[in-house]
């Protein structure tokens, strides 16, 4: 492990500083434009007070991340691919958020429009990984708890990539529902992949630092009580970064461990919707995604967020054990 960690630290500090400068400037501007969150009326009643809180804060996350990362991007490199896939998913979220705030409704892009955009971005990233990356074993991935053994997925690699990418992106999106939840959970996940990138000498190391620093800066304004929400602009971009970094490091299976919170959030929605349709109106959870279920059970928002932080931190420690020969 002789990779210099300094670039990641510089990128993290730069992104953190930039976000702490941007947020106080842009938040009042978003308020002036009345770019406020439209809160679901069927959700926890405590959330009604959040109506009108500025959203689209993911713009600041992306700007600070991109500026800090730009100093470490080489042409046609893995770092450039990771930057582009993150920005592309963020652009889909931005379009979704803009429709929501301009139309003053809780739904933005139609489901097929959002899915089409995600499929196109994922397809472009898959093409880069399989045919554009100048490294052997493009379709090989590490298996957790096997002392760093690889498995070559061959023709199954692309379908697997689509499944994991889309699941991770939408998992991050569903996780964004409480003050500081998605940002705090994701910064822990990013920290795990930052350490992995450092151990492997990967060129995405500075980008991982930039992502972590940007999220920490955003959390200053997004933690309870939130002064701004990231919106789909931020959540889709974060999911794209996590999945993209995992595939570049050949560690997509580790997402199921360190980002299990994303998976649980997605599954809670799938189970809730499926059971509701099968039973003609019955529910498994009081509300989905599952973080709202805990609120409906009487837990305070800050308690739910803290619980998810703790669970994610423990999962990242397990992830370290699963890949200790790599990390």
- DSSP for 242-254 reads HHHHHHHTT-GGG
pLDDT of residue 134: 67
Q: For residue 233, is it within any domain? A: yes
Instruction: Find where tokens 């979220």 sit.
Output: 93
Burial 251-270 (b: 16+ CB within 10 A, else e): bbbbbbbbbbbbbbbbbbbe
pLDDT of residue 309: 98
pLDDT of residue 39: 58
Q: For residue 46, is it within any domain? A: yes
Of the candidates 74, 19, 51, the residue with the CA atom closest to the CA atom of residue 214: 19
Q: How far is CA 296 from the centre of its chain?
A: 25
pLDDT of residue 220: 96
Q: For residue 316, is it within any domain? A: yes
Q: Which residues of the chain have pLDDT under 70?
A: 1-2, 36-51, 75-76, 104-106, 134-136
Range of the domain at 172: 6-322
Q: Give the CA distances from residue 296 to residues 142, 300, 301, 312, in Å, rounded to whole numbers and listed in that order.
A: 39, 9, 10, 22
pLDDT of residue 40: 57
pLDDT of residue 187: 98
**Does the pTM of the predicted model rise above 0.85?**
yes
Nearest-Å Rg of the Cα atoms of the chain is 19
pLDDT of residue 316: 98
Q: For residue 119, is it within any domain? A: yes
Q: For residue 327, is it within any domain? A: no
Q: For residue 1, is it within any domain? A: no
* Helix (H), strand (E) at residue 142: strand 140-142
Number of domains in the chain: 1
């Amino acid at each position: 492990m002789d990779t210099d960690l300094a670039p990641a630290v510089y990128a993290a500090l730069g992104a953190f500083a930039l976000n702490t400068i941007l947020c106080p400037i842009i938040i009042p501007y978003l308020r002036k434009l009345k770019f406020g969150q439209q809160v679901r009326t069927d959700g926890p009643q405590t959330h009604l007070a959040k109506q009108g809180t500025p959203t689209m804060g993911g713009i600041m996350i992306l700007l600070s991340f991109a500026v800090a990362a730009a100093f470490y991007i080489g042409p046609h490199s893995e770092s450039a691919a990771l930057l582009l896939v993150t920005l592309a998913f963020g652009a889909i979220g931005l379009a979704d958020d803009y429709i929501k705030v301009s139309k003053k409704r809780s739904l933005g892009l139609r489901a097929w429009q959002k899915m089409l955009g995600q499929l196109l971005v994922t397809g472009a990233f898959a093409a880069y990984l399989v045919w554009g990356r100048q490294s052997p074993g493009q379709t090989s991935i590490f298996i957790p708890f096997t002392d760093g053994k690889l498995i070559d997925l061959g023709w199954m690699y692309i379908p697997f990539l689509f499944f994991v990418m889309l699941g991770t992106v939408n998992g991050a999106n569903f996780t964004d529902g409480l003050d500081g939840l998605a940002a705090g959970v994701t910064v822990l996940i990013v920290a795990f992949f930052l350490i992995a990138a450092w151990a492997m000498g990967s060129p995405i190391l500075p980008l991982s630092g930039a992502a972590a620093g940007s999220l920490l800066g955003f959390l200053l304004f997004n933690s309870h009580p939130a002064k701004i929400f990231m919106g789909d602009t931020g959540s889709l971009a974060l999911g794209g970064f996590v999945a993209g970094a995992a595939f570049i490091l050949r560690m997509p299976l580790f997402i199921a461990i360190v980002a299990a919170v994303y998976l649980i959030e997605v599954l809670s929605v799938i189970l809730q919707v499926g059971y509701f349709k099968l039973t003609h109106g019955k529910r498994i959870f009081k509300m989905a995604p599952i973080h709202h279920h805990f609120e409906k059970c009487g837990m305070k928002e800050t308690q739910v967020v803290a619980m998810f932080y703790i669970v994610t931190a423990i999962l990242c420690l397990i992830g370290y054990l699963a890949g200790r020969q790599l990390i």
